[in-house]
Amino acid sequence: MSALAVVIGAGVDALVCGHYLARAGRRVLVLEGRTAHDDGTEIGWIPPRIVRDLALDRRGLAIHRADPWVAAPLAAGGRLELSRDIARSVEAIRRVSPRDAAKWPAFSERMGRLARLLEHLYAAPPPDPVSRELGGLVRLAGVGLRMRRLGKQAIEDLLRLLPMSAADWLDDWFESDALKAVLGAAGITNLRQGPRSGGTAFVLLHHHVGSPAGVFRPPLSNIGRALAELPGVEIRRGAEISRIAVREGRVAGVLLASGGEIAASLVISGADPRRTLLELVDPGWLDPDVVRAVRNIRSRGVVARVTLMLDRSPGFTTLMVAPSLDYLERAYDDAKYGRVSRAPYLEAASDGPTADGRHRVNVHVQYAPYALADGEWDEARRTALGRLVVEVLSQHLPDLGAAVVERSVLSPRDLEDAYGFPEGQAHHVELALDQLLWMRPVPGWARYRTPIDGLYLCGPGTHPGGGIAGAAGNNAARQIISDLRSGRLR
C-alpha cells in the first residue's frame, strides 16, 4: 500500500493534522475542493503545544485579543465594557450593579479554574469511561486526580454546571440583565438552543478555555494562513473528492470528481462526520447501528454572517446586541419554528480601516435558521436580513445607516456551500452534552478512528469541538502516529 497520507480539506484542524504527520515522516497530500477557503482568520484558542511544535510564531502567526473584549449597549444609555483587566471590568460592572461587581473576581477565578481542567482534557484524545484498556483507565485516573486537586469547591461547581442552563448558572451569580446577557451569549453561540436550555452553561465554559480569567470570548488569529504557508505538506486546491475508496474493509485511496484515483493507505477527513461516513464512504461498509448514529448527528445551523463596509469608523471594536437573557431566549423562539429572528442576537466586530480607507464590520447574526418554515434562502431573504441587521445596530448607533456603503450576506446555506459547514454549522457537530468528549461525534467512535481501517476523522466535529483551533487535528495525528507505531495501522 502507498505510504501517502491524504488529508481531505484545508481547514485548520486538517492542516494541523497533516503537518504533524509530515513531521512524523509521512508524505502528506492535502486536497481541498474549494479554490479559496476562508480568509485565514480563525476564532478560537490555539493550544500552545501546536504553536511550539510547528514553530508558528516564527511563521507569521498573529493572535488578536480585543480589549475591551465586549461592549454592550445599556438600556439607560452608555455601554457595559468588559476588559482583560479584572479591576477595570469591576469598575464597569459597578456602574450597573455594585453587588455584581463585588462578585466578578470570584466568578472569574472559579470559572478560570474549571476552564484549565478542560484545557487538559482538550489537549489529548478523549478519555473513554467504559474502556477496559490499560491506557484508557490510566487517562481516566489522571482526570480524576486532576479534578481532586482542584478542591471541593471546583468539583461541586463542575458537577452543578455540567447539566445547567447558562441562564440558571448566571442567575445564581448575578442580577444585572446586561451582564448576564453578555455571558449567556457565549453559551449559545452557534447553537440552535436558547440560554435556558440545559447544557448551555457548559458551552459557556467551553468558550472560556484558553482565555485569561474574566474573558469569555476566544481570540482571533491568522493560523489558517500561517499553516497554509508552512512547508512540509502539499496542498492541492480545486481537487474535489467524489468518493473514499474502500477495499476489503480498509481504505485504499480517494476518487476525484475530475476523474482518477489517488492511492493511499491512510486517509484523514477534515470534512464533517456525516458527509465523510454517509456520502464519501459507501455506508454499506458500516454497521447499521453506526449509520443510524451518524445520521442522527445534530448539525443545525442558525448563524448568518453579514459584512458591512462603512465610509467611516463605526466607533467600536466589538459590539454585542443582546440586552438580556429573555431577549436571547425570544430570539431563539423564532428559530425554533423555522423563522429568522425578528430581534436577533448580533455580535459585530470592526477590522479597522482597509487599504482604501473604508471600515469593515463583520456581524455574527443569530438566529437565522438553515431550514426555513416558509421557503428557501434566496436573494430577497438575504437582502431583508442585511437590512434588518443595519436597523437593529442603528438603534444603538444612530448614524450607522448613513455610513454603510456596501453590505453582503451569507446565509447558513451559503456558509454550507462556501465553507462546507453542514447546514451552516461552523462546528460541524453541535456542542451539546450528548455530542461532547467520548460521545463526539458519536459514542464508540470518538478517538478519531472510524470503523474502516485507515480512515480517520480530524475536523471540528471531533473532540474537543469548534472554538479550539487545531486541537482536534493535533489529537487525531497523535492517535494515528500511535496506531502506526503499535502496528494497529500499516
Q: For residue 1, what pLDDT is reported?
A: 39
Separation of alpha carbons 210 and 116, rounded Å: 7
Checking phi first, is residue 210 left (phi over 0); if not, alpha (psi -120 to 50) or beta? left
Question: What CATH class does 4-63+222-298+428-486 carry?
Answer: alpha beta
Share of the chain residues as helix, strand and coil, in percent rounded to the nearest 5: 40, 20, 40
DSSP 6: E
Q: Residue 335 in contact with residue 423, Cβ under 8 Å?
A: no
Q: For residue 42, what pLDDT is reported?
A: 86
- Position 422: which residue type? P
Distances (CA, A) of 486 to 1, 57, 268, 405, 490: 18, 32, 18, 59, 9
Give the number of other CB atoms < 10 A from CB of residue 213. Answer: 17
Q: For residue 488, what pLDDT is reported?
A: 83
Number of helical H runs and strand E runs in the chain: 17, 18
- Position 354: which residue type? T
Q: Residue 429 in contact with residue 300, Cβ under 8 Å?
A: no
Q: For residue 89, what pLDDT is reported?
A: 98
- Position 95: which residue type? R
Instruction: Tell me the H-state helices in 174-324.
Output: 177-186, 200-206, 223-228, 273-275, 288-295
Separation of alpha carbons 323 and 326, rounded Å: 8
Phi and psi angles of residue 451, each rounded to the nearest 5 degrees, phi first? -65, -10
Q: For residue 133, what pLDDT is reported?
A: 65
Q: Which residues contact 133 (CB under 8 A, 6 or more apart)?
A: none
* Nearest C-alpha neighbor of 267 from the set 18, 465, 12: 18
Q: Residue 333 in contact with residue 197, Cβ under 8 Å?
A: no
Q: For residue 150, what pLDDT is reported?
A: 77
Average pLDDT per run of 10 along the chain, which is 490 residues long? Answer: 85 97 96 69 92 94 93 92 97 97 97 93 82 62 71 87 97 98 97 97 96 95 95 95 95 95 96 97 95 97 97 92 97 96 96 88 97 95 97 94 95 95 97 94 93 97 95 97 88
C-alpha cell at 373: 418554515
Separation of alpha carbons 93 and 25, rounded Å: 53
Strands of the sheet containing 261-263, edge to edge, are 241-247, 250-256, 261-263
Separation of alpha carbons 281 and 241, rounded Å: 11
Q: For residue 130, what pLDDT is reported?
A: 66
- Give the position of cell 461525534: 441
* Nearest C-alpha neighbor of 7 from the set 222, 251, 279, 223: 251
Q: Residue 373 in contact with residue 321, Cβ under 8 Å?
A: no
Q: For residue 128, what pLDDT is reported?
A: 73
Q: For residue 489, what pLDDT is reported?
A: 82
> What residue spans define the domains of the chain?
4-63+222-298+428-486, 86-215, 303-422
Partner residues linked to 431 by β-bridges: none
Q: For residue 52, what pLDDT is reported?
A: 97
Separation of alpha carbons 309 and 312, rounded Å: 9
List b or e across 187-207, with b for residues whose CB sees 16 or more CB atoms inside 10 angstroms: bbbbbbbbbbbebbbbbbbbb
Q: Does the global pTM surpass 0.85? A: yes
- What would the 3-class secondary structure string for 372-407 be? CCCCCCCHHHHHHHHHHHHHHHHCCCCCHHHHEEEE
Distances (CA, A) of 245 to 235, 250, 259, 266, 459: 20, 9, 13, 11, 20
Q: In the Cβ-directed half-sphere of 356, how many Cα atoms lie within 13 Å?
A: 6
